[in-house]
Structure 1
Amino acid sequence: MNLLTKKALTPWQQYLLVTLSYWSFTLTDGALRMLVVLHFNSLGYSPFAIAMLFVLYELCGVVTNLLGGWLAARMGLNRTMHAGLLLQIGALLMLTVPNEYLTVIYVMVAQALSGIAKDLNKMSAKSAIKTLLPEQQEGRLYRWVALLTGSKNALKGVGYFMGALLLQVLSFSGSLMLMAGLLLAVLLLTAGLISGDLGQMKVKPKFREIFSNSQPVNVLSAARLFLFGARDVWFVVALPVYLQLVLGWQHSEIGSFLAVWVIGYGVVQALAPMITGARKKAKETVEYVPAGRAAFGWVAVLSVIPLGMLVAAQLLNGLTSVVLIGGLLVFGAVFAVNSSLHSFLILRYARAEGVSLDVGFYYMSNAAGRLFGTVLSGGVYQLWGLEACLLISALSLIIAALVSLKLPRYA
């Protein structure tokens, strides 16, 4: 065989390459998040100032998902995925300058690049799954997206631990250079192997098509906004700062705990098809998969957890370690099912031709939810404390449940 002839990869092999790229990116993204929170907290930044460091990160995610889905439909998912890796390498290297140059504005710009990179990579990876699978395989689609999402978040947890550990073992800049080298190696390994026309539409979509005209996609996107805002309003800034300043935890303890939490969260996400019931009964040709009714039920259950934590805090005169850790573990498990179910539903509702357009629009709402959750996490915590963050979380989840009532119940 001619050595210059490249053998076409199977859909499964391409799925593995997509997953490798997504895994590598997620590992560095989780580590970078923990490095920034802990390093700048040790430099004396206030919780609100730390939250501001991530504002452009999330804001750029809103824009990137809209434009990224459109670009992927025109150029192919392979190119947008690798563009994300290149931008993340640049963002990491930007932060390797001496501390005196790490002003709020400078770090916000570096985080903006990282936000663009993350959402290009995520949108590309999630969209690729539907493109690689044939139609009418919803059960298999659910399992593939659950495995990708769950394994990604488990590695994000490893990234939290890695970030905290690297901060103690290496310098801040040394940790960033190590991660940039890892991403460069993955980029060189996967470039050219993934099909160049993956996800590329035959007819180039017009710019106005970045906005979805599908009611299920729009409703699910609105629910996603409030779902992720409810998580980040207490998880992103308020929780790590509370653990450090109020409970007196060390950097390695915070990183290890959040790592275990996110790893467990990822494991539950991967098991979501078993939990929510993706199955095919005997003598049936169509495999059952959950729909809008399940999305409403799971987010309604989730809304009870922060309310329960607030009640327990009132009875015990404060958020004790038992209430906080126990509530966080239960919240993480139920949230993981919600997230995995949503990730499947958007691929189910998305159009077959130009899937990245619908997925990009959906993850735009995801980024918007993270944006308002991140800002509120720092600001509300600084003004009123962690209990106020939990109250806002509960209210956001109730809104997400009400919005989910508009989803198709069984289809």
Structure 2
Amino acid sequence: MTALTNLSADVRQYLLITGNYWLFTLSDGALRMLVLLHFHQLGYSPLQLATLFLFYEIFGVVTNLFGGWLGAQFGLNRTMHIGLLLQVFALLMLAVPTGWLSVPLVMAAQGLSGIAKDLNKMSAKSSIKLLVKPDAHSTLYRWVALLTGSKNALKGAGFFLGGVLLTVLEFRGAVLAMAAVLAVAGLACLLLLRSDLGKAKTKPKFRELFSKSRAINVLSAARLFLFGARDVWFVVALPVYLSAQLGWDFWQVGGFLAAWVIGYGVVQALAPAVTGRSGQRHDGKDIFGWAAVLALVPAAIAGALLHGWPPGGVLLSGLLMFAVLFAINSSLHSYLIVSYASADAVSLDVGFYYMSNALGRLLGTLLSGWLFQQFGLLSCLVVSAGFIAVAALISLALPKTRLATDNAAVE
């Protein structure tokens, strides 16, 4: 406790924001796995499963766009609190008797959860920009990498937690337990988080929602295809394939996906050590190089499956390589958006960027269900490789050196 009180106020705020983000992410990963496995058990097709997450992704797009404006208007602490509260409501909506769990109800609950998740993420990542000195590029890169990597590791743990909770407490008991824990966390943040965090000095106009920065626009377009490439085979196709084609049970599917995302998160947190800790050295050429290498992985997996190699071994080894390379790509993207963002409107810039991220997830989720149902896993992998290649080409338009100042993000 003494060591905690000796920390600077900014570091304590960072730890509070990170802890909030960790707990929320754990519940988000668990809820996704609960819904996916529970409704797969009830006999839903891959396309129907993808539909259950449709509102989650659609409202994520809208939330990232308008959430940045709300954060600049009223402060990031309020958007973070609203995100936690909405997640509690979403969980309670699903805590009805099994017979009441219609598709529209689940889609509505997932829509609320999508709003909650992106409000929480936008608030947490935008806050870091305000807690780090403007010229501390290396510190900013490390803090962003740590927050993002640890978040993804915990999302993986959430996948495993969802499988465990479904087995131990069943669906209704699991969502009630998570709602109770998040309600307590929300109260703690309400009491301890700075009330003025993230408020813009001049209130942004509603028409300023869309980014005026060429660098942010280009990075956002690359992000859309990067995350579409991941989700086009990871969200629906892969877990259903493991369960239906390879005969894995819930524990195995949840545990494997959890281990994958945890490993991905660990690599993401360590990315500064892999790519170099001086964040200002990273630019469009770095993004292109890492993306070009990543595109080879799903293409190689597809080729191996096409030639009849054992699918279990191919997927395990291919997913390991994909996790490492995708984590580095994502970490560089996350650093650059916070670095490019204007200090006085950070939530607007970050919100616009993560709107593109959500669009990519939406596109990937829908394609994951449709392509897998119509053509199988191989088609998902081919599209994934193509999307990453497009992301790499787009990144060539990024600045070749880091923007000189925070305000230079608006060109």
**Which bracket does the TM-score occupy, shorter chain normalised?**
over 0.9
Q: Is the 8 A contact 2:163 2:254 kept in 1?
A: yes
Q: Kindly indicate whether residue 305 of structure 2 is the aligned counterpart of residue 313 of structure 1.
A: yes
Partner residue in 1 for 2:289: 297
Q: Is the 8 A contact 2:294 2:388 kept in 1?
A: yes
Structure with higher helix content: 2
| Residue aligned with 2:281, SS | coil
Q: Kindly indicate whether residue 85 of structure 2 is the aligned counterpart of residue 72 of structure 1.
A: no
Partner residue in 1 for 2:405: none
Q: Is the 8 A contact 2:166 2:174 kept in 1?
A: yes
Percent identical: 60
Paired with 1:49 and 1:399, the residues of 2 have a C-alpha distance of 28
Q: Which runs of 5+ in 2 are unaligned?
A: 1-5, 403-411
So what's the TM-score if we normalise by structure 1? 0.95
Question: Deviations for 1:90-125, whole angstroms, at most 9, x for unmatched residues?
Answer: 000100111221111111000000000000000000
Partner residue in 1 for 2:177: 178
For residue 185 of structure 1, report the CA deviation from its aligned partner: 1.2
Paired with 2:235 and 2:367, the residues of 1 have a C-alpha distance of 10
Paired with 1:392 and 1:69, the residues of 2 have a C-alpha distance of 31
Paired with 2:280 and 2:364, the residues of 1 have a C-alpha distance of 34
Paired with 2:233 and 2:211, the residues of 1 have a C-alpha distance of 30
Q: Kindly indicate whether residue 116 of structure 2 is the aligned counterpart of residue 117 of structure 1.
A: yes
For residue 278 of structure 1, report the CA deviation from its aligned partner: 1.5
Q: Is the 8 A contact 2:292 2:392 kept in 1?
A: yes
Paired with 1:58 and 1:366, the residues of 2 have a C-alpha distance of 10
Q: Is the 8 A contact 1:139 1:289 kept in 2?
A: no
Aligned AA (1:257): F
For residue 192 of structure 1, report the CA deviation from its aligned partner: 2.8
Partner residue in 2 for 1:31: 30
Question: Deviations for 1:57-91, whole angstroms, at most 9, x for unmatched residues?
Answer: 00000000010000000000000001000000000
| Residue aligned with 1:196, SS | coil
Q: Which runs of 4+ in 1 moved over 2 A?
A: none
Q: Which runs of 5+ in 1 are unaligned?
A: 1-6, 280-286
Paired with 1:198 and 1:220, the residues of 2 have a C-alpha distance of 26
Partner residue in 1 for 2:262: 263
For residue 178 of structure 1, report the CA deviation from its aligned partner: 0.6
Q: Is the 8 A contact 2:280 2:401 kept in 1?
A: no
Paired with 2:394 and 2:149, the residues of 1 have a C-alpha distance of 25
For residue 404 of structure 1, report the CA deviation from its aligned partner: 0.3
For residue 182 of structure 1, report the CA deviation from its aligned partner: 1.0
Partner residue in 1 for 2:386: 395
| Residue aligned with 1:354, SS | helix
Alignment of 1:188-267 (within 5 A): 188-267=187-266
Question: Deviations for 1:29-71, whole angstroms, at most 9, x for unmatched residues?
Answer: 0000000000000001111000000011000000000100000
Match of 1:334 among 295, 306, 325: 325
Aligned AA (2:54): V
Q: Kindly indicate whether residue 349 of structure 2 is the aligned counterpart of residue 323 of structure 1.
A: no
Paired with 2:378 and 2:275, the residues of 1 have a C-alpha distance of 31
For residue 8 of structure 1, report the CA deviation from its aligned partner: 11
Match of 1:376 among 349, 354, 367: 367
Aligned AA (1:169): V
So what's the TM-score if we normalise by structure 2? 0.95
Aligned AA (1:200): K
Task: Please identify, of 7-16 and 209-218, the stretch whose mean Cα deviation from structure 2 is larger.
Answer: 7-16
Aligned AA (1:334): L
Q: Kindly indicate whether residue 95 of structure 2 is the aligned counterpart of residue 104 of structure 1.
A: no
Distance 1:235 1:156, change over 3 A: same
Aligned AA (1:310): A
For residue 318 of structure 1, report the CA deviation from its aligned partner: 5.5
| Residue aligned with 2:397, SS | coil
For residue 229 of structure 1, report the CA deviation from its aligned partner: 0.2
Question: Deviations for 1:255-300, whole angstroms, at most 9, x for unmatched residues?
Answer: 1111111110000000000111124xxxxxxx75312111111111
Q: How many residues align?
A: 397
RMSD: 1.3
Partner residue in 2 for 1:18: 17
For residue 189 of structure 1, report the CA deviation from its aligned partner: 1.3
For residue 320 of structure 1, report the CA deviation from its aligned partner: 1.1
Q: Kindly indicate whether residue 97 of structure 2 is the aligned counterpart of residue 95 of structure 1.
A: no
Paired with 1:292 and 1:191, the residues of 2 have a C-alpha distance of 39
For residue 232 of structure 1, report the CA deviation from its aligned partner: 0.2
Partner residue in 1 for 2:345: 354
Q: Is the 8 A contact 1:138 1:289 kept in 2?
A: no
For residue 9 of structure 1, report the CA deviation from its aligned partner: 6.7
Aligned AA (1:336): A
Partner residue in 2 for 1:4: none
